[in-house]
Amino acid sequence: ETGVTQTPRHLVMGMTNKKSLKCEQHLGHNAMYWYKQSAKKPLELMFVYNFKEQTENNSVPSRFSPECPNSSHLFLHLHTLQPEDSALYLCASSQSPGDQPQHFGDGTRLSIL
């Protein structure tokens, strides 16, 4: 139990579908993050939220739309994805963006057909 829970663990979707990934942290942290982990590539930071406000967008395509309704929940809304978007999507949290370490969930394995 890492304190960061991601659902679903696996998701298969077509390119025209709309789906959402959910992340919930039980650590009392204020900062939350989305990362993409593709095969043979390093983890890539996508978004950073601090107290529900987006503070970093790492040039992520608009087909990925994050939402942070409160400091415990983070969503990643997906629409019109491409096959190259198939990857493991990891959520993390920390006390604040300047605090380390970041605590990771176990990810959602996303496959785009």
Partner 1 sequence: GESVGLHLPTLSVQEGDNSIINCAYSNSASDYFIWYKQESGKGPQFIIDIRSNMDKRQGQRVTVLLNKTVKHLSLQIAATQPGDSAVYFCAENPPPGNTGKLIFGQGTTLQVKP
Answer for which of 17, 19, 20, 45 binds partner 1 (CB under 8 A) is 45
Least distance CB 31 / partner 1 (angstroms): 6
Answer for which of 31, 74, 78, 110 binds partner 1 (CB under 8 A) is 31
Told to check if 38 binds partner 1 by CB under 8 A, we report: no
Binding residues for partner 1, total number by CB under 8 A: 28
Among 108, 106, 88, residue whose Cα is nearest residue 41: 88
Told to check if 67 binds partner 1 by CB under 8 A, we report: no
Q: DSSP of 30-80, one letter per residue?
A: SEEEEEEE-TTS--EEEEEEETTEEEEE-S--TTEEEEEEETTEEEEEEES
Answer for which of 3, 22, 52, 56 binds partner 1 (CB under 8 A) is 56
Told to check if 103 binds partner 1 by CB under 8 A, we report: yes
Told to check if 90 binds partner 1 by CB under 8 A, we report: yes
Phi and psi torsions of 35, nearest 5°: -125, 155
Answer for which of 33, 46, 66, 68 binds partner 1 (CB under 8 A) is 33
- Count Cβ atoms below 10 Å from residue 27 Cβ, excluding itself: 13
